[in-house]
Structure 1
Amino acid sequence: MGLIEKLFTLVFGGGRNVVRETAEVFRENAEAGAARNNALQTQVITQHGAEFDRAQKGGFDRFMDGVNRLPRPLMAFGILGLFIAAMVDPVWFASRMQGLALVPDPLWWLLGAIVSFYFGARHQFKGQEFQQSITETMLRVPQVVENIRTLNALSPKVAAQNFNQLLETNGKNAAIEDWKRAKS
């Protein structure tokens, strides 16, 4: 018995599995790899969500968000106002447009750059908010999946299947037998 015990201790080690450890040198342990990937993904999602935390907005941030919402409506209403002014008083409108014709091209280019940068920054900000909403949604996925499983378990079809299985496994019951006869 001592020789066999020493042989097994040599192959499998004292409380260790040498064969498994040797195999893991050539092939990754799938369960440990999945656990590492899950931990990494959870940490990445948590960090990504923390970068875009909306709860940190103060009064100044909310005020600036309100100010940032003004230029687009003001420009749209301004253009509509110009159309109305052209119809109401064409001479006044024509004199203002003649004044705009005197604006040098570099100023028009500067205005175009400012408006482009404004809308480009706004587009980037909205894109980041979209990424944040995706992160928040991804964090809710496990709970939603569990809720769907619970709801499926409560559905009438599943309940009927469970009830039929209960009828089959409970054996003979006079009331259930009467109910089966009445049902068929």
Structure 2
Amino acid sequence: MGLIGKILGVGKAVERVGRTAERVSEVFVPNKTEKQKQEYQQYRASLDQYAQEFTLAPMGLFNSFVNGLNRLPRPMLAFGTMGLFVFAMINPAAFSLRMVGLNQVPEPLWWLLGAIVSFYFGAREMHHFRSNTIKIPQNLAPMASFLPMIQDGALDPDYNAALEDWRKQQK
């Protein structure tokens, strides 16, 4: 088939007619690949904008230390509770004596301890909820490099795929 087209010289003409028909059809039905590229670029641009808005300043040594201290109560409570079970099995008499002592603590003091612990964990949870740190995977960045719509990491509003295609064909 290709040989006959070369002999008769109609291969190029048919190819040009096909490209023209494709371009005319794209006027009525958009190219899905181009549309997906443009949607992806809009999506990436909005994610990049949000990432810039929510970036946090680097923390100093004191802030890192206090953050480390803030992370200690939960593991200490968990391991301490398991330690009570071990202590009860190792020395039941001493464990019973300490539980009797805890039984002597007045009820308002237990309410106060519950309020302190729940406010601590509630404030910690609220802090993480409000800071809303967004982690954007950096492995998506190389995918954007093949798209000509992106100029220095931002969406180029002057980009026109059809015009760029036409310019390439004119060269």
- TM-score, normalised by the number of residues in structure 2: 0.50
**What is the match of residue 133 of structure 1?**
134
Determine helix, strand or coil for the equivalent of 1:132.
coil
The one-letter code sitting in structure 1 at the alignment partner of 2:53 is H
Find the counterpart in structure 2 of residue 53 from structure 1: 56
SS in 2 for 1:97: helix
* Contact map agreement 2:88 2:95 (CA 8 A) in 1: yes
> What secondary structure, in the 3-state scheme, does the structure 1 residue paired with 2:134 have?
helix
Distance verdict in 2 for CA 1:46–1:81, change over 3 Å: closer
Normalised TM-score (structure 1):
0.47
Summarize the Cα distance change of 1:124–1:87 in structure 2 as closer, same or farther, 3 Å threshold. Answer: same
Q: 1:101 to 1:149 in 2, by over 3 A?
A: same
Match of residue 95 from structure 2: 93
Larger radius of gyration: 1
- Out of 102, 105, 113, which is 2:104 matched to? 102
CA deviation vs aligned residue, 1:81-137 (integer Å, no higher than 9, x gap): 1101111111110010000001011110011011101111111222234x2215xx3
Task: Tell me how large the CA RMSD over aligned residues is.
Answer: 3.4
1:148 CA displacement: 6.8
For 1:10-159, list aligned pairs within 5 A: 45=50, 48-49=53-54, 52-55=55-58, 57-129=59-131, 131-133=132-134, 137=136, 143=141, 146-147=144-145, 149=147
SS state at 2:105 partner: coil
Asked whether the 8 Å contact 2:51–2:134 carries over to 1, the reply is no
Counterpart residue identity of residue 56, structure 2: D
Going from structure 1 to structure 2, the CA distance change for 1:54 and 1:148 (only over 3 Å counts) comes to farther
Identity %: 44
> Which protein, 1 or 2, shows the higher relative CO under an 8 Å CA cutoff with sep ≥ 6?
2
Q: Distance in 2 between matches of 1:147 and 1:122?
A: 40
CA distance in 2, matches of 1:109, 1:148: 61
Q: Which amino acid aligns with 2:144?
A: E
One-letter amino acid matched to 2:103: A
Q: Report how many aligned residue pairs link the two structures.
A: 105
CA, structure 1 residues 46+103, in 2 after alignment: closer, same or farther (shift >3 Å)? same
The 1:46/1:88 distance shift into structure 2, 3 A limit, reads closer
